Amino acid sequence: MEIASMNNDEKPSNFFTKGLLWFKSLHEKIYTKIVGIAKQFKTIAKDDPRRVIHSLKVGLSLTLVSLFYYFQPLYNGFGVSTMWAIMTVVVVFEFSVGATLGKGLNRGMATLLAGALGVGAHYLASATGKVAEPILLGLFVFLQAFALTFIRFFPQVKARYDYGMLILILTFCLVSISGFRVDEIVDMAHKRISTILMGASVCVIVSIVVCPVWAGEDLHKLVAQNMEKLGKFLEGFGDEIFKSSEDSTESKVTKTSLIEYKSVLNSKNSEETLANFAKWEPGHGQFKYRHPWKQYLKIGGLIRQCAYRIDALNAYINSEIKAPEEIREMIKETSMKMSIECGKALKELSKSMRKMNLPISADEHVTNAKNSAKKLNSLLKSRINNWEEINLLQVIPLATIASILTDIVICVEEIGQGVNELASLANFKTTKSSKEIINTNKVIVVEKIELSNNHVVITINEQNMKL
Amino acid sequence: MEIASMNNDEKPSNFFTKGLLWFKSLHEKIYTKIVGIAKQFKTIAKDDPRRVIHSLKVGLSLTLVSLFYYFQPLYNGFGVSTMWAIMTVVVVFEFSVGATLGKGLNRGMATLLAGALGVGAHYLASATGKVAEPILLGLFVFLQAFALTFIRFFPQVKARYDYGMLILILTFCLVSISGFRVDEIVDMAHKRISTILMGASVCVIVSIVVCPVWAGEDLHKLVAQNMEKLGKFLEGFGDEIFKSSEDSTESKVTKTSLIEYKSVLNSKNSEETLANFAKWEPGHGQFKYRHPWKQYLKIGGLIRQCAYRIDALNAYINSEIKAPEEIREMIKETSMKMSIECGKALKELSKSMRKMNLPISADEHVTNAKNSAKKLNSLLKSRINNWEEINLLQVIPLATIASILTDIVICVEEIGQGVNELASLANFKTTKSSKEIINTNKVIVVEKIELSNNHVVITINEQNMKL
């Protein structure tokens, strides 16, 4: 008994200190956790402030829809069905207008179709008598669930109508089975469809009216941005690889901008998702309703091809190149020119795409890059006989870089063609009057305009511009 | 009148022929359309027969759940709430067990939590009086929708709890607002939660019991398959690039197997999705509950790095190489060896991963490839002085191929390390007894085992094996 009481005497203080310590450490842990989460909140909001706006929009839409509950006349009309409006808002409201519209239309159309089919199935089954009815209904449910679930695997369906298929299965089951119990099936279907349409309308209106996020615009910007990232790499690559070892101190700043291209390697999925959403969107800003979104996927694919080559180049960015001075200089000049001209072409293409202008000087940059590639080839051919005792091993990295750059020139040319196709499909504007063509240092002066027979003859005179 | 009647006489036959033709062409159109769809059905089912089984499983689950409606006692207990069981099945049933479990758990937990919060909010609001109640409820709805929608942008939340967040918003709104009208809120919540749990249980049980599709197993197979695809390319590449132009007839067959690697370039997304699902899955087959799924993503990333290099190599597969015979032969031998040994290493790694055995000979293949790379380097160094008048331009493609192959050797080595890490994390089995190591032509004979102090000393003797 004494021992027990002693233990009891000691325990409380011990327990108390331990508890205090535990509480203190818990408090600290929770504090650091909360600070961490708050920081993450901030970064996520800063990365894309539209996220905050989107959250506010969802809150607003839900509050709007929940008003239905408070207005007595509306509630009396629809009763518990008002619930479907809330469900629709929560499920349909997406980040971009295209996604919201797509889901809303899918939900609306699928509900209508499934409602009709469900009512039909219900009447058909109830006509067969009390015994066969549940069996027939069970069969209907099984068959439509099987068929529609399988159809969801079709790539075309998966891309655009996946959600509609889900709602089709759901609504058909609910209508056909609940019809087995509730008599006023048509009335119920009517109420449900009205509330769903109401909810979907609120979503679509809020999504379009309050700071809309257009998936099409995002896709447009993403593709242009990806081009720019590759352009940045190629412009910086020449300096980075041929720099002397002394000026390596400042390379850290440029290096972070160089590895931006890495995100391009895995951009396929987001591009496809955005293109699918964009197809649902009405005309907005510079984009018409049937803007050629497919062409963006094509350009995106070409950009990725180029990014793979750039990733192969990037492996050489940290390796030291010990080629003989003569070869180094020769390859350096042409390679840098190729790299920089490709970079300029991509940046120009990106810029003209952003502004939806016809690319002006991109073709010229590509031609320059191609000429450099040709020059390199002829240099290698002509001067090889003069060299003796060159170390092939030391030349290989340089040769590889030059070779990959030649591939990149071809890629960039294809990207340029892709952008030109897009420009003609989407009617990009010309920026300057046809009188002046920038960047060629030439001025075309219209000298004479005359009408002969049915033709207009314009005599022009090309002059070098004095800069 | 006469003209009119004449026209009327002519019209019918004309109209009839036209109608017949129209009907015929429509009939043909519909027929070809149906045949096309049927063909697509067949391909989709053939590509992955589990899709048919999945569709059957969904049909089965829905029919099972709809039975609730037919059993009078069950229906009397739950009433209209039975609807929630059907909704749960339609929404929660996914292709893989992991996805189904993830969605089911998300839905269940979120419903419980949101139900409790909703009831709390309802009581809190109703305590403030009739005027403040709707305002306070509206505020609650707005705030929780705003906060939870924003939290959905957190990458960790998006990956695993996105659906739960959605259900949290939905249920909270439904419970807190509908509570404004319906008095028996707790009873309703109880019914709803029970039916949702019922629906989710049916999904999970059917999904696990009837031909389960495990996301983890799919991920495991996908990564192994991707490795094999790259291995196939590398094994075939040597023959393809150095073949003489005569035997180009049979190259078509091999070429289709060579471009299989292209699918690896864009595999990131599917790997990440599968890994997220796999984390929800219980232990199954060879995989324990906490199988290191993260390591698969790491290996997948390394494989993709290698695939980018291979894509750069692939550009040379159709180009003719006109290097001088001597250099060609020299580079050919070592390059082919590098390529083939890398291919063998990848295939061996893939095979051992599939069987979850420790890779035995992969390291050796990598070492062989590295030795070939070294040999190529020393060859290039030593023999370069003997050549005069080599055409550097003709050597460049070969040099580039050799250089990229050297990069690939490094990639393959890293993949090997990744697989070895996985092997130790997941306790891969050793295939043969430690006495024999295959492929090294050596036998290790255990000569003596003795206990000294706390250690076991094993004396071994390495002997060359007579084959």
User: Dmax over Cα atoms in chain B, in whole Å?
Assistant: 127
Distances (CA, A) of A344 to A233, A242, A338, A352, A359: 10, 18, 10, 12, 12
Does the CB of B315 have a partner CB in chain A at under 8 Å? yes
Residue A177 has pLDDT above 70, yes or no: yes
The pLDDT of residue A419 is 92
The pLDDT of residue A314 is 84
The pLDDT of residue A283 is 87
Does the CB of A289 have a partner CB in chain B at under 8 Å? no
Banded model confidence at residue B443, pLDDT cuts 50, 70, 90: very low
The pLDDT of residue B433 is 39
Name the 3-class secondary structure at B198: helix
User: Which tens digit of pLDDT belongs to each residue from B341-393?
Assistant: 999 999 999 999 998 888 888 888 988 988 988 888 887 766 555 555 566 67
Under an 8 A CB cutoff, do B141 and A66 touch? yes
Residue A271 has pLDDT above 80, yes or no: yes
User: In this structure, are residues A176 and A137 in contact, taking their beta carbons and an 8 Å threshold?
Assistant: yes
User: In this structure, are residues A265 and A308 in contact, taking their beta carbons and an 8 Å threshold?
Assistant: yes
Which residue did the predictor score with more confidence, B245 or B149?
B149
Which residue did the predictor score with more confidence, B174 or B442?
B174
**Token pair recorded at residue A132:** 């066969």
Residues A261-271 as b or e (16 or more Cβ within 10 Å = b): beebbbbbeeb
Residue B205 has pLDDT above 90, yes or no: yes
Banded model confidence at residue B216, pLDDT cuts 50, 70, 90: very high
- State the residue for tokens 């998936």: A215
Name, of A69-78, A253-262, A298-307, the range with top average pLDDT: A298-307
- Tell me the C-alpha distance between B65 and B198, whole Å: 8
- State the residue for tokens 């089984």: B53
Which residue did the predictor score with more confidence, A70 or A306?
A306
Chain B residues whose beta carbon lies within 8 Å of the beta carbon of residue A381: 391, 393
Banded model confidence at residue A1, pLDDT cuts 50, 70, 90: very low
Distances (CA, A) of A333 to A326, A330, A369, B457: 11, 6, 12, 64
User: Which tens digit of pLDDT belongs to each residue from A345-376?
Assistant: 999 999 999 988 888 888 888 889 889 888 88
User: In this structure, are residues A75 and B180 in contact, taking their beta carbons and an 8 Å threshold?
Assistant: no
Alpha-carbon radius of gyration of chain A? 33
**Token pair recorded at residue A275:** 């293109």
Which residue did the predictor score with more confidence, A206 or B189?
A206
- Kind plus residue range of the DSSP H or E element containing B363: helix B362-383
The pLDDT of residue B83 is 81
- Tell me the C-alpha distance between B287 and B289, whole Å: 7
Give B339's contacts (C-beta < 8 A, 6+ positions apart).
Answer: B234, B235, B237, B238, B405, B408
The pLDDT of residue A137 is 86
Of B66, B67, B173, the CB nearest to A173: B66
- The rounded percent of chain A whose pLDDT value lies above 90 is 32
- The rounded percent of chain B whose pLDDT value lies above 90 is 33
Of B153, B305, B399, the CB nearest to A396: B399
- Kind plus residue range of the DSSP H or E element containing B146: helix B132-151
Residue A7 has pLDDT above 80, yes or no: no
User: Which tens digit of pLDDT belongs to each residue from B284-298?
Assistant: 888 888 899 999 999
The pLDDT of residue B89 is 92
Residue B4 has pLDDT above 50, yes or no: no
**CB pairs < 8 Å spanning A and B:** 213
Name the 3-class secondary structure at B448: strand
Under an 8 A CB cutoff, do B58 and A311 touch? no
Nearest to A100 by CA among A285, A269, A280: A280
Which residue did the predictor score with more confidence, B177 or A337?
A337
Q: Please give the order of strands across the beta sheet that includes B455-464.
A: B436-437, B442-452, B455-464
Under an 8 A CB cutoff, do A180 and B69 touch? yes
Chain A residues whose beta carbon lies within 8 Å of the beta carbon of residue B141: 59, 62-63, 66
The pLDDT of residue B445 is 45
Under an 8 A CB cutoff, do A44 and B153 touch? yes
Nearest to B400 by CA among B306, B313, B311, B305: B313
- Tell me the C-alpha distance between B398 and B443, whole Å: 40
Single-letter amino acid, residue A413: E
Nearest to B210 by CA among B75, B58, B371, B360: B58
User: In this structure, are residues B110 and B172 in contact, taking their beta carbons and an 8 Å threshold?
Assistant: no
Does the CB of A177 have a partner CB in chain B at under 8 Å? yes
Q: Mind spelling out the 3-state secondary structure of chain A?
A: CHHHHHHHHHHHHHHHHHHHHHHHHHHHHHHHHHHHHHHHHHHHHHHCCHHHHHHHHHHHHHHHHHHHHHCHHHHHHHHHHHHHHHHHHHHHCCCCHHHHHHHHHHHHHHHHHHHHHHHHHHHHHHCCCCCHHHHHHHHHHHHHHHHHHHHCCCHHHHHHCHHHHHHHHHHHHHHHHHCCCCCCHHHHHHHHHHHHHHHHHHHHHHHHHCCCCCHHHHHHHHHHHHHHHHHHHHHHHHHHHHCCHHHHCCHHHHHHHHHHHHHHHCCHHHHHHHHHHHCCCCCECCECCCCCHHHHHHHHHHHHHHHHHHHHHHCCCCCCCCCCHHHHHHHHHHHHHHHHHHHHHHHHHHHHHHHCECCCCHHHHHHHHHHHHHHHHHHHHHHHHHCCCCCHHHHHHHHHHHHHHHHHHHHHHHHHHHHHHHHHHCCCECCCCCCEECCCCEEEEEEEEEEECCEEEEEEEEEECCC
- Tell me the C-alpha distance between A69 and B138, whole Å: 11
**pTM for the model:** 0.80
- Tell me the C-alpha distance between A324 and A395, whole Å: 8
- Which one of B177, B305, B407 makes the best mutation probe of the A interface by having the most chain A beta carbons within 10 Å? B177
User: In this structure, are residues A293 and A300 in contact, taking their beta carbons and an 8 Å threshold?
Assistant: no
- Tell me the C-alpha distance between A122 and A124, whole Å: 5
The pLDDT of residue B399 is 79
- Which one of A171, A203, A304, A308 makes the best mutation probe of the B interface by having the most chain B beta carbons within 10 Å? A308
- Tell me the C-alpha distance between B401 and A245, whole Å: 27
CA B347 to chain centre: 19
Interface of B with A in 388-417 (CB under 8 A): 388-393, 395-397, 399-400, 402-404, 407
Minimum mean pLDDT range among A108-112, A248-252, B104-108, B125-129: A248-252
The pLDDT of residue A83 is 81
User: In this structure, are residues B422 and B296 in contact, taking their beta carbons and an 8 Å threshold?
Assistant: yes
Chain A residues whose beta carbon lies within 8 Å of the beta carbon of residue B66: 137-138, 141, 173, 177
Minimum mean pLDDT range among A124-133, A178-187, B61-70, B361-370: A178-187
**Token pair recorded at residue A381:** 């051919």
Residue A272 has pLDDT above 70, yes or no: yes
- Tell me the C-alpha distance between B281 and B208, whole Å: 10
- State the residue for tokens 């039916």: B195
Distances (CA, A) of A444 to A171, A429, A452, A458, B362: 67, 20, 22, 11, 67
Interface of B with A in 212-241 (CB under 8 A): none
The pLDDT of residue A358 is 86
The pLDDT of residue A321 is 67
Residue B440 has pLDDT above 50, yes or no: no
Residue B217 has pLDDT above 80, yes or no: yes
Which residue did the predictor score with more confidence, B241 or A332?
A332
- Tell me the C-alpha distance between A320 and A328, whole Å: 12
Single-letter amino acid, residue A290: R
The pLDDT of residue A445 is 46
Banded model confidence at residue A440, pLDDT cuts 50, 70, 90: very low
Chain B residues whose beta carbon lies within 8 Å of the beta carbon of residue A393: 377, 380-381, 384
Residue B174 has pLDDT above 70, yes or no: yes
- Tell me the C-alpha distance between B285 and B214, whole Å: 10
Mean pLDDT for A369-385 is 76
Interface of A with B in 36-55 (CB under 8 A): 40-41, 44-45, 51-52, 54-55
Work out the number of other CB atoms within 10 angstroms of the CB of residue B73: 7
Residue B434 has pLDDT above 70, yes or no: no
The pLDDT of residue A290 is 84
Banded model confidence at residue B230, pLDDT cuts 50, 70, 90: very high
User: In this structure, are residues B397 and B319 in contact, taking their beta carbons and an 8 Å threshold?
Assistant: yes
Mean pLDDT for A447-467 is 48
Q: For all residues of chain A together, what is the average pLDDT? A: 80
**Token pair recorded at residue B428:** 């891969």
Q: For all residues of chain B together, what is the average pLDDT? A: 80
Question: How far B377 CA sits from the closest chain A CA (Å)?
Answer: 7
Nearest Cα residue in chain B from A394: B381
Of A59, A134, A391, the CB nearest to B142: A59
Banded model confidence at residue B132, pLDDT cuts 50, 70, 90: confident
The pLDDT of residue A287 is 87
- Tell me the C-alpha distance between A401 and A317, whole Å: 10
User: Which tens digit of pLDDT belongs to each residue from A318-327?
Assistant: 666 666 777 7
Under an 8 A CB cutoff, do B149 and A266 touch? no
Does the CB of B246 have a partner CB in chain A at under 8 Å? no
Under an 8 A CB cutoff, do B62 and A169 touch? yes
- DSSP β-bridge partners for residue B448: B459
Residue B331 has pLDDT above 50, yes or no: yes
Under an 8 A CB cutoff, do B269 and A265 touch? no
Residue B135 has pLDDT above 90, yes or no: no
